[in-house]
Structure 1
Amino acid sequence: MSKKPKKTQHFALIDDLASFIGRFVVLSDEQRLVMAVYVIHTHIAKRCQQTPYIFIHSPEPECGKSRLMEVLDVLVREPWMIVNPSDAVLFRKVNDSMPTLLWDEIDAVFNPKSAQYHEEQRGMLDQGHRRRGRVPRFIGDKVKEFDVYCPKVFAGIGTLPDTLSRRSIPISLKRRRPDEPIDEFIYQDVVEEAAPLVERVEAWAAEYGKTAANDRPSDLPERISDRMKEGCFSLFAIADLAGKGAELRKALDTILTGDRLDSQQTMRTRLLRDLRTVFAMRYRDSGKPMKFLPTDEILESLIGFEESPWSDYYGRELEAKDLATLLEQYGVKSRQVKYQGEPRRGYSREPSKAGDVEGLADVWTRYLGEDDTQVVIGSRRDA
């Protein structure tokens, strides 16, 4: 029977890690707890079957993303801080040493303009959350399978591709207010201060890592997707051993359901919701259902929404090509119709007569889980 640590001992370790991280970056209590547990996870990840990713993001620069990565750099197991690595370097480093990948400025890689040039890296990251994740490549005259599994932390402005966001715990940062003090970060000093903490984490991992890695926690938050639950098994196991299981469950539930990068609301589903709102607003204003809206009018409405990502979509306003890319996987395409007496290109609620282009109304019902007609009627009644 596996020996379990004293809860008070482990309880203090998590609290001390959370306190240390919070000295240098403004985080919520929930975020500090998640990051502290994740630090411990990186030290036992080699025993785990899966790892969740962390995505540190903010709407603007200078919100603490890089600083949080620097703090992690002195705490996690075998940190590897990178910016824009080549495919060859990325594949070989992860395969050879299974580091904790700390990838800063990832928005420079996966933005609409450059994402097409980094499909190799995205494929590697898509597979790298699972222990048996391997990507075959032809090297010289032989096929080599690269092991791409390792803990991964990303930082950037905006969003990740959908497949990565579903595997990632989002840590949303805001620019620090003057009344939110933090300690000065001098790297060499911080390394020395972190050393005793790292030793405690390593000692715990050596004695109890196998227990945590093989545990299958129960009573996980229902709103967390099955994929995320499986990836977070070790996080919950670590917290359970510390007597902090309930706190972590609440923290992750709050973070995942409150952040727009939650797997239940990717950028595409956010767009579907906002498009439906645009059509409902036009119904409210005109008094009649809108079967079609031109692309330029849709974009103007989306960009005008407060607290929406469309006015700062990878550092610029959402464009027609972005709209087309986000909707194409649903089978929705723009078409040219006669609108207010003139031929205009835009999007329709109903499918094309030939059936080769989906209509928005059907897609809304399928992916948003509500009857679109009732939503529009409700919007009209509330006007």
Structure 2
Amino acid sequence: MLAELLDQIEAALCSYVVLPTDHAAAAVVLWIAATHAMPAWNTAPRLVIKAPEKRCGKSRLLDLIEAMSHRPILTANASPSAVYRCIGEDATDPPTLLIDESDTIFGPRAGDANEDLRGLLNAGHQLGRPALRWDAGSRRLDRIATFAMAALAGIGNMPDTIEDRAVIIAMRRRAPDETVLPYRARRDGPALTQLKTQLHAWVMGRLDQLERAAPVLPVEDRAADTWEPLVAIADAAGGHWPADARAAVLALTVDDVDASTVSLRVRLLIDVRTAFADADGLRSEVLVARLREDAEAPWDTLGKNGLNPKSLAALLRDFEIHSVQYRWDDGTQSKGFKRDQFDDAWRRYCPEPSSRRPAVPAVPPSHERENGTAQHPWDGSAVPTAPTRAWDGSAVPNNPSRPKSTLVGRRDGWDGKAQPTETATCISCRQPLSYDDGTHTHPTCTTSTKES
């Protein structure tokens, strides 16, 4: 049932906005679903929606996310104290923070004016990271909750500490041959609200299952923390979603270390590796000269006179890499560096892409059902991209492994109607049941038998 419901949500999104790839569409759908299961998660992944220019659909996508997320709070600007108050009103059921025009908050012109808000968003990524405030009036230490899902939309990059905790959707302007439906909240909102209601009911009935989930992921460390709730939702949905989720992880997680976004010291390690080429050792003067030859690198303009052997040694000192007096092939002696001095730092701070993927067991044990059969046959390898056949446009495809369209924005993706719910009644509490499996629309009753 959840797989078909997620299909409908994806079709609705892609009817109103052009998403860059099918992987991005799947990620947004799973992120929306994850907002409804906050009591089950240890991490609250951020969703960063960014674009190089205006009119790329960022705000429209945020409108659609608002329509289907759990307890959304949409703002174009917010003070840290207001955000603290929103989250702290009910820490057991936090809202979903949606921040539009976030480039005005974290952009170059803002400077360091919103560091408190950035710290709040960073802390709220993980459960159990409250903000501490001293109330002088009552002489009491207040612990303010920060744990909540958050989506940010804006032009350009977000702060690197936020993007490091985020699923990143890089939007782009719609091409002339890409068409979408106009979205009007009053007209189109009720159908999306019905999808939201069904999604919340399904998720709330399976919180225990989601809390116990430990999906095997093709990434590690913070990327795994960020993607775990989304993949757990996909595994619970079944059908094509487990494979789609892992394909999205691989596609949307940047494997290469981008020299333009890392710290100056890590950028130096990357450039030193390039400068060494096939050499086993280089004099300090030669290494500095090679670094300064790159016109796009910062080394020729670093400080007042550019990089020199002394500043090079200072930058490498924190990595425990030091210049040493060597006798070179021409018989002269001078200070320099050997390639093997950098091997450990290169492996830790800027590894080659092929070495960054973790080993994954052939059959992820967390995907096994109680009867011992696997929910899906993922073998731990990279998931192939989605087939390129066009979808027939039906509201809910019958084939659980339905192909996705190569054109993500499309008019025929959704018929505008949410799937109707079943009107059966529970024999115990007399409340309505939503689905064929007897799931309640509320989690308080333990009986799941339908009235005959």
1:22 to 4, 14, 29: 14
**1:367 Cα offset (Å):** 3.2
Q: Does 1:66 align with 2:26?
A: no
Structure 1 length-normalised TM: 0.72
**Higher percent of residues as helix:** 1
Query: Does the aligned pair in 1 maintain the 2:2–2:199 contact within 8 Å?
Result: no
Match of 2:190 in 1: 192
Query: Does the aligned pair in 2 maintain the 1:333–1:358 contact within 8 Å?
Result: no
Q: How many residues align?
A: 312
2:131 to 130, 135, 140: 135
Does 359-368 or 19-28 show the bigger shift?
359-368
Name the SS for the 1:229 alignment partner. helix
2: CA distance, partners of 1:266 / 1:208 = 43
Letter in 2 for 1:68: L
Write the mapping of 1:1-383 to structure 2, written as runs, cut at 5 A: 9-27=1-19, 28-97=21-90, 98-141=94-137, 142-218=140-216, 220-221=217-218, 224-243=219-238, 244-257=241-254, 267-268=261-262, 272=267, 276=271, 291-292=288-289, 301=296, 334-336=302-304, 345-348=305-308, 350-352=309-311, 355-358=313-316, 367-369=349-351
**1:294 Cα offset (Å):** 10
Structure 2 length-normalised TM: 0.61
Query: Does the aligned pair in 2 maintain the 1:54–1:168 contact within 8 Å?
Result: yes
Query: Does the aligned pair in 1 maintain the 2:269–2:346 contact within 8 Å?
Result: no
Query: Does the aligned pair in 1 maintain the 2:223–2:253 contact within 8 Å?
Result: no
Query: Does the aligned pair in 2 maintain the 1:276–1:364 contact within 8 Å?
Result: no
Name the SS for the 1:109 alignment partner. helix
Letter in 2 for 1:76: S
Query: Does the aligned pair in 1 maintain the 2:39–2:207 contact within 8 Å?
Result: no
Unmatched runs of 5 consecutive residues or more in structure 1? 1-8, 281-287, 303-322, 325-331, 337-344, 371-383
Letter in 2 for 1:129: H
Question: Relative to structure 1, is the Cα distance of residues 180 and 161 closer, same or farther in structure 2, using a 3 angstrom cutoff?
Answer: same
Does 115-124 or 11-20 show the bigger shift?
115-124
2: CA distance, partners of 1:266 / 1:145 = 37
Question: Relative to structure 1, is the Cα distance of residues 31 and 365 closer, same or farther in structure 2, using a 3 angstrom cutoff?
Answer: closer
- CA displacement, residues 150-171 of structure 1 (integer Å, 9 cap, x when unaligned): 0111111222222211110111
Unmatched runs of 5 consecutive residues or more in structure 2? 276-284, 322-336, 353-452
Query: Does the aligned pair in 1 maintain the 2:80–2:120 contact within 8 Å?
Result: no
Q: Percent identity?
A: 25
Question: Relative to structure 1, is the Cα distance of residues 333 and 161 closer, same or farther in structure 2, using a 3 angstrom cutoff?
Answer: farther
Letter in 2 for 1:369: P
**1:228 Cα offset (Å):** 2.1
Match of 2:434 in 1: none
- CA displacement, residues 317-343 of structure 1 (integer Å, 9 cap, x when unaligned): xxxxxx69xxxxxxx99344xxxxxxx
Letter in 2 for 1:242: A
2: CA distance, partners of 1:95 / 1:74 = 22
Letter in 2 for 1:252: V
Does 159-168 or 120-129 show the bigger shift?
159-168
| Bigger Rg, structure 1 or 2 | 2
2: CA distance, partners of 1:117 / 1:195 = 36
1: CA distance, partners of 2:104 / 2:202 = 37
More RCO (CA 8 Å, sep 6+): 2
Does 226-235 or 361-370 show the bigger shift?
361-370
Query: Does the aligned pair in 2 maintain the 1:137–1:146 contact within 8 Å?
Result: yes
